[in-house]
Chain A
Amino acid sequence: MAADSLHHHFVLPGQVLATSMSESEGGFLRGHGTYIELVPDESTDHNDDDMCDTKQQGGMAGTSKKKRSGWGTETKSTVMQMDDGNEAEKQDENDEPSDFQRGPQRLIASVAGTVERVNKLISVIPLSPSIYTGQVGDLIVGRIVGVGGSRWKVSLTCSPPTASASNGSMKEGQLPLSGVNLPGGVQRIRTSEDVLAMRNLFREGDLLTCEVQQVQKDGNLILHTRSLRYGKLDNGVLVTVPPSLVGRRKNHFVTLKGLTSQNSDAMDTEEGGEGDVDVYLGLNGGIWIQRTIPSEWENAIRADQDERAPLAETLQKLRHRHSTTRVSPSMRESIARVRNSVECLRLVHCQITPDSIEIVARASVDQGVRVADMLLPEMVIKLTEGTRR
């Protein structure tokens, strides 16, 4: 089948994927990683044009000259300046320019990757899309890099504020003041006092989880932390990986259970956790690892406070307790183990899923690999064996 033959093809930018004759049937729809161009009338003619151009200028025989022949014709000619990707359907709504329907057009790949085809829709999946393009509802693990103008600037690469100011992180997201929950869970209009007190909530350098609320036309992200799950991150480890390695899934907050090695005594259970580790898989490539908050804590806090106290308050207290309680050595070890497992997966370009993390972590426990040795090259290959089947 034609679709199959096209399926696993690897294409380079500039490679023609399909050509359609005029506005007849059997055309294509433009997906991600491609663009549409009108086929030049006669390609030979086009080339001759170039040559004429060069010859003219070459003939002038000036003492010193620079030129870009053919380029001028290129820009003013046929390329349809269309938005890539996200607004593929926009193409239908807009009144298209009349010459768009005229003449044959062709679909050209703009990134290197594999062709994917769904009926008429042809798109190219890039081999390493290190550029994160947000979608509404994505979980982001980001870092605050700026406070001001009643909004926080959130770096999506989690790079520290100093570095991002100088060399530029990827696009930054905006977290407006109206997108956060005020302490105590009160709902009210934000006042200028709140603006002045913004640093009490998040300050520069803080890590946080948030969700994409809105994607603006130019690709800017508006974030929010209006759910109790989101907020500032403390007392854990951050790993950054290429965003392409984190896929969209149902749940981005996962708990890995029982990763402590058998020989290390799970005796110091004064904090109750049996070595469970929480992993937050940010779609921008930030992965946060922290201990699972033991259920005893929650019960204790619930017992302390009033029956009708809001959930927000309980969670706030839990969070506070989490950020002020030391992490026990055995817990630190399991956190480090998970962290190194993620790093292993990154090094072999493997998709990072709860399963794959667990496979690697479990393999390291079973083989009795010390946490520090997990990142030795031969170990990386050995440990990730399970993810390659």
Chain B
Amino acid sequence: MTSLQRTDILSLIHLRSDGRRPNEIRHMTCHLGALPPTTDCGSALPSSACSGSAMVTMGLTQVLCIVRGPCDVGRRTEELPDRATLEVTMRTAPFAPPGDRRSTNPTSDRRLIEQSHLLQKALSASILLHLYPKSKISVTVMVLADDGGRLEAAINACTLALIDAGIPLKDMVCACSAGRWNAGGSDEIVVDLNRREIQAATGGASGGGGGNNSGGGGGTSDTIYLPVATMPQRGTVVLSQCESRLSGGAEAFGEVLECARAGCEMVMEVMAAAVRERGAGLWKAREGKATVVLDDW
């Protein structure tokens, strides 16, 4: 019974399992100001002190980011005399499907801790922290749904939330992933991988950007999954994380990196459009023009 599966048909016509071309990113939507900023004193929600927020959807991955601050540092020991402390917390919503692995404790998951650390590094490359000495900017990322690439979505959401909060940034940080694997003999590079593709690219054993790429990894030549964050307007890379074994050497890696950077450019366009749309709406409302921006509903 040799039956062609849907995925086989797609790969025959050079489309990916979700119908995209290799160089297409997933459908991406951005919503700035997803939560109302600094609301009533009466509200008991801890989010009442939020100064900016954004929701980013990349394919089936959905991430909400909330920025608070700059505010006083709680503990004196965390205070820096010349710049602000940047505190990043990343967690998954309890109702989110257990993304890349079997369900773990969302607060002590080491992959989350690692990713929030990466996020912190990527963002501190862009935020002008020295403008707010002795204070704290805290960024909370909530992963609402994870279909691969939650780190990239989180970085994009953080950038937008920081813009929404009006915190000065050196540049917009945009993130996108790229990968390559041997799909039925043909060796192709794709951008913005979803979970299924990540699993294919990292050897399947454990998805979500790698984990131990067991001994067999060396045999399947170059399978790479590479999340990259760049500042597209100045062309610098602020984050690139590769956990797979490379035998093809530098050229192979360079190709994938270039591909990811192209993906970041596309992400940048979507994000810029979202910011402009938000700005235009607010501007018109303030100028007293016809458009009405009603936030809270």
Q: Using a CB–CB distance below 8 Å, which chain A residues touch chain B?
A: 10, 12-16, 33, 35, 43, 46-47, 50-51, 54-56, 58-59, 61, 63-71, 73-75, 79, 81, 83-85, 108, 110-114, 126-131, 143, 157-160, 163-172, 218-219, 238-240, 242, 285, 347-351, 377, 380-381, 384, 387-389
By a CB distance below 8 angstroms, the chain A residues around B134 are 218
Judging by beta carbons under 8 Å apart, are A69 and B38 in contact? Answer: no
A-B contact pairs, 5 of them (CB 8 A): A54-B253, A58-B246, A69-B240, A163-B48, A168-B49
By a CB distance below 8 angstroms, the chain A residues around B276 are 10, 12
Given known contacts A14-B172, A43-B235, A381-B292, A170 and B240 CB-to-CB distance under 8 angstroms? no
Judging by beta carbons under 8 Å apart, are B254 and A164 in contact? Answer: no
Judging by beta carbons under 8 Å apart, are B70 and A131 in contact? Answer: yes
Judging by beta carbons under 8 Å apart, are B294 and A381 in contact? Answer: yes
A55 to B275, CA, bound (A): 34
Given known contacts A130-B37, A168-B74, A51 and B254 CB-to-CB distance under 8 angstroms? yes
A66 to B111, CA, bound (A): 14
A384 to B245, CA, bound (A): 61
Judging by beta carbons under 8 Å apart, are B168 and A130 in contact? Answer: no
Given known contacts A54-B257, A58-B249, A13 and B283 CB-to-CB distance under 8 angstroms? no
A81 to B282, CA, bound (A): 31
Judging by beta carbons under 8 Å apart, are B165 and A84 in contact? Answer: no
Question: What sequence of 0s and 1s flags, for each residue 152-177 of chain B, a beta carbon within 8 Å of any chain A beta carbon?
Answer: 00000000000111111111100000
Is B148 part of the contact surface with A, judged by Cβ < 8 Å? no
A55 partner, pick from B44, B133, B166, B250, beta carbons under 8 A: B250
- Interface-facing stretch out of B3-11, B16-24, B96-104, B123-131: B123-131
By a CB distance below 8 angstroms, the chain B residues around A349 are 282, 285-286, 293, 295
A10 to B282, CA, bound (A): 12
Q: What's the nearest-Cβ distance from chain B to residue A252, in Å? A: 19
B38 partner, pick from A71, A79, A240, beta carbons under 8 A: A240
Q: What's the nearest-Cβ distance from chain B to residue A332, in Å? A: 17
Judging by beta carbons under 8 Å apart, are A61 and B245 in contact? Answer: yes
Question: What sequence of 0s and 1s flags, for each residue 166-198 of chain B, a beta carbon within 8 Å of any chain A beta carbon?
Answer: 111111100000000000000000000000000
Given known contacts A127-B166, A381-B294, A58 and B286 CB-to-CB distance under 8 angstroms? no
Judging by beta carbons under 8 Å apart, are B136 and A350 in contact? Answer: no
Judging by beta carbons under 8 Å apart, are B46 and A110 in contact? Answer: no
Q: What's the nearest-Cβ distance from chain A to residue B53, in Å? A: 11
Nearest-CB residue, chain A, relative to B37: A130
Judging by beta carbons under 8 Å apart, are B166 and A240 in contact? Answer: no
Question: What sequence of 0s and 1s flags, for each residue 234-273 of chain B, a beta carbon within 8 Å of any chain A beta carbon?
Answer: 1111111111011101100110010000000000000010
By a CB distance below 8 angstroms, the chain B residues around A112 are 163, 166, 275, 279
By a CB distance below 8 angstroms, the chain A residues around B68 are 167-168
Ranked nearest first, the 8 interchain pairs of A and B with the lowest CB-CB distance are: A14-B171, A58-B253, A168-B71, A110-B168, A13-B169, A55-B250, A349-B285, A70-B237
Output the residue of B46, B118, B136, B171 with the most chain A CB within 10 A.
B171
Judging by beta carbons under 8 Å apart, are B71 and A238 in contact? Answer: no
Q: What's the nearest-Cβ distance from chain B to residue A41, in Å? A: 14
